[in-house]
């Protein structure tokens, strides 16, 4: 057998269990993640110690206003929080019909405590963009997600880093203000770090 035949035989084992109905497609009836209620029961985040967000830890279920990223845009929305009783919480958020992805503003504190950011200003500063200093030039650097692609925006220049960022690290060079810079993006889409250095 050729490699192609072996490969195709191996992946022929995959079978979808759900039948797609044309009527559902025509009626735009999505049963997927990107529409309707997205239940995040699997995302049971562990909050250690006191946490200003999860102040109602004794209640079973409550609704909080939280800042959630919809396709990269920070939006304050109602989030239903459920106390799972073991220090873990589940979160449920209603996802707008036209949104491709959603993520929470979420950071890890210095002591390792994980905290959901609800302050839009902090979110904008810490999650949705970064100002970095390189030499005497202040550069605006931002990672944004649009239409399923991840873009590194450097001084207005857009670089598609979707593929390379899957490894959690992407580096390269770009020119701005007549100078050549080296950039390095590390982390995850939700929590990333960008460093920019002037090339020697």
Partner 1 sequence: MRQAVQELIERYQHNLFVAAFQICKNQEDAEDVVQETFIQYHTTKKEYESEEHIRAWLLRVAINKAKNVSYTFWRRNKQPLEDYIETLTFESEESGELFETVLGLPEKYRIVIHLFYYEEYSVQEIAKVLKLSESNVKVRLLRGRKLLKDALKEEWEDDK
CB 88 within 8 A of CB 75: no
What does the per-residue mask of binding to partner 1 show for 156-175, with x meaning CB under 8 A?
A: ----x-xxx-xx--------
CB 106 within 8 A of CB 116: yes
**Structure-block tokens of residue 144:** 């944004």
Query: Any contact of residue 25 with partner 1 (CB under 8 A)?
Result: yes
Residues numbered 87 to 126 that lie near partner 1 (CB under 8 A) are 91, 93, 95, 100-104, 106
Query: Any contact of residue 16 with partner 1 (CB under 8 A)?
Result: yes
Query: Of 138 and 169, which has the nearer Cβ to partner 1?
Result: 169
CA torsion angle for 13, 16, 22, 24 (degrees, to 10)?
-170
Which residues, 6+ apart, have CB-to-CB distance to 127 below 8 Å? 69, 74, 105, 106, 107, 117, 190, 191
Question: Which residues of the shown chain bind partner 1 in the complex (CB under 8 A)?
Answer: 2-4, 6-14, 16-18, 20, 22, 24-26, 28, 30-34, 38-43, 69, 91, 93, 95, 100-104, 106, 145, 147-150, 160, 162-164, 166-167, 188-190
């Amino acid at each position: 057998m050729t490699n192609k035949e072996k490969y195709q035989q191996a992946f022929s084992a995959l079978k979808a269990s759900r039948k797609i109905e044309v009527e559902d497609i025509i009626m735009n009836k999505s049963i997927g993640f990107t529409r309707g209620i997205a239940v995040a029961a699997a995302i049971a985040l562990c909050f250690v110690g006191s946490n200003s967000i999860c102040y109602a830890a004794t209640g079973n279920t409550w609704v909080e206003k939280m800042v959630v990223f919809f396709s990269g845009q920070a939006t304050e929305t109602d989030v239903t929080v459920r106390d799972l009783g073991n220090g873990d919480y589940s979160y449920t958020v209603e996802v707008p019909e036209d949104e491709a992805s959603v993520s929470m503003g979420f950071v890890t504190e210095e002591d390792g405590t994980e905290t959901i950011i609800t302050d839009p200003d902090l979110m904008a500063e810490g999650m949705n963009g970064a100002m970095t200093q390189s030499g005497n030039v202040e550069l605006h650097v931002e990672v944004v997600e649009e239409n399923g692609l991840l873009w590194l925006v450097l001084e207005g220049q857009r670089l598609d880093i979707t593929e390379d960022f899957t490894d959690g690290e992407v580096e390269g060079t770009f020119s701005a203000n007549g100078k050549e810079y080296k950039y390095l993006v590390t982390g995850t889409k939700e929590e990333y770090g960008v460093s920019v250095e002037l090339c020697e």
